[in-house]
Amino acid sequence: MRRACRSGFTLVEIIVVLGIIIMLAGLLFPLIGRFKESAKRVQCLNNLRSLTQAWIAYAGDNERHLCSSNPQSPPGWVNKVAVLDPQNLGPIKSGRLWPYLNDTGLYRCPDDTTNPTINPVSYAANGLLNGPLGNPFTYARLDDIPNPSKTFVFIEQAYPLIARSPDNPNLGGVNPNLFSTPLYPNPPVLRVTSWPGQNHKGNKAYAEGTGISFADGHAIFWQYADTRTGNLQESFAAGLNGSLYTNGSLTPPGTFPFLTNSPDVFQLMAWSGGPLPPDPPKLYDPTKPWP
C-alpha cells in the first residue's frame, strides 16, 4: 500500500524556521540602522561642505573679508537678532550666507532631534574666524588663515544642554551657533560653549563623532577618541557632583570645566587656527596653576 504524501510542516520544523528568521532579523536590523546612520552622516557632511563653500564665496565677493562667526554681532553668518517668524527661520534668512545658500534644510543636521523652532541651525562657526576669540587677534580675512586645510570653519554643536532651562538656571547667556574654540596655551578644557556635536549616535547611547569642515572647503566625520566627548550629559553630571576642580577649588555653577585632558580637546586646539599644542601635549593638573 502506498503512503499518503505529507502536506504540512511539523511543529518542530516551524519552530526551527522561525528561529532562523529571528536570528537573521537580529543580524540585519543593526546593519539597516547603520546604513541609515551612514546616509545621514553623508548628508550632514554635504551640508557642511555647502555652508563652507558659501562662506568662501562670501569672502570672494567682499575683498576676502570673512563674515562674522558671531550670530549676535551682525553681519554674521546667521543672525540671531533677526525678527523671528513662527518657524524661527529669520536668523537663517537674514544671515550673510543666505544669498549664497538659500535652502534652510542645509543648515540642519538630519540626525538633529532637537526642536527646530527653538534652534533651526545645527552648526556653529569657529569663533576665531572674525569672531569674539583672539589669539592674540581674530582672523578677519581669508588670507589671514595660516593653514586653511587644518583650520575648521563649521562644526556641529551640542546645543540643548547649554541653554538656560529650569534644570540648568546658571547656563543662560550662551550663544548658540558660535563655537568658543579652545585655544592653546589656555588650559585643555571642554566647556559648554566648546562642546562638539552629540547628534550621531548610531546604535549607541553616546555620539560616536561629529561633522566638521575646514577653510579649504573639505569636510570630514571626526570620530571621537574619548567616549566622554560624545556623552555631554554624563560629563555635565560629573561637574555638578563637584568632581572637577580649577586651581584647587570648585568653580561657580555654569563656569566649571566639564572635561579636561581629553585627546579631543587637543585635537580641537590643533584645528582651531591658533598655536599648535605641543606633541605630546602638556597635561593639565586642575589643582595647580596653568601652564
- Residue 123: which domain range? 11-271
**Whole-number pLDDT of residue 257:** 57
278 or 256: which leads in pLDDT: 278
Is the pLDDT at 255 greater than 80? The verdict is no
**Whole-number pLDDT of residue 256:** 52
> Helix or strand or coil: residue 76?
strand
CA–CA separation, 18 and 236 (whole Å): 45
Is the pLDDT at 143 greater than 60? The verdict is yes
Work out whether the CA dihedral 233, 238, 240, 246 comes out positive or negative: negative
Mean pLDDT calculated for residue range 105-119: 89
Is the pLDDT at 249 greater than 70? The verdict is no
- Examine residue 70 and state whether it is found in any structural domain, yes or no: yes
Is the pLDDT at 30 greater than 90? The verdict is no
- Which of 71-75, 166-170, 212-216, 262-266 is least confident? 166-170
- Examine residue 264 and state whether it is found in any structural domain, yes or no: yes
Is the pLDDT at 172 greater than 50? The verdict is no
C-alpha cell at 84: 523671528
Residue with grid cell 555653577, as numbered in its chain:
253
- Examine residue 3 and state whether it is found in any structural domain, yes or no: no
Query: Average pLDDT of the chain?
Result: 82
**Whole-number pLDDT of residue 272:** 96
Is the pLDDT at 27 greater than 70? The verdict is no
**Whole-number pLDDT of residue 243:** 45
| Predicted structure pTM score | 0.81
Please write down the HEC assignment for all residues of 151-200: CEEEEEECCHHHCCCCCCHHHCCCCCCEECCCCCCCCCEECHHHCECCCE
What tens digit of pLDDT does each residue of 208-226 get? 999 999 999 999 999 999 9
- Examine residue 290 and state whether it is found in any structural domain, yes or no: no
Is the pLDDT at 244 greater than 70? The verdict is no
- Examine residue 102 and state whether it is found in any structural domain, yes or no: yes
Q: Which residues pair with 196 in a beta bridge?
A: 157
- Spatial CA neighbour of 187 closest among 269, 132, 115, 121: 269
Residue with grid cell 513662527, as numbered in its chain:
86
Amino acid at 186: N
Amino acid at 56: I
- Examine residue 124 and state whether it is found in any structural domain, yes or no: yes
251 or 24: which leads in pLDDT: 24
- Examine residue 1 and state whether it is found in any structural domain, yes or no: no
What tens digit of pLDDT does each residue of 97-109 get? 999 999 999 999 9
**Whole-number pLDDT of residue 162:** 45
Q: Express as a percent the part of the chain with pLDDT over 70.
A: 79
- Examine residue 285 and state whether it is found in any structural domain, yes or no: no
Mean pLDDT calculated for residue range 11-37: 69
pLDDT bracket for residue 35 (50, 70, 90): low
β 178-179/123-126 pair status: parallel
Is the pLDDT at 165 greater than 50? The verdict is no
CA–CA separation, 161 and 257 (whole Å): 14
Is the pLDDT at 142 greater than 60? The verdict is yes
Is the pLDDT at 253 greater than 50? The verdict is no
Domain count, the chain: 1
* Cα Rg of the chain, angstroms: 24
- Which of 69-73, 120-124, 222-226, 269-273 is least confident? 69-73
Amino acid at 227: T
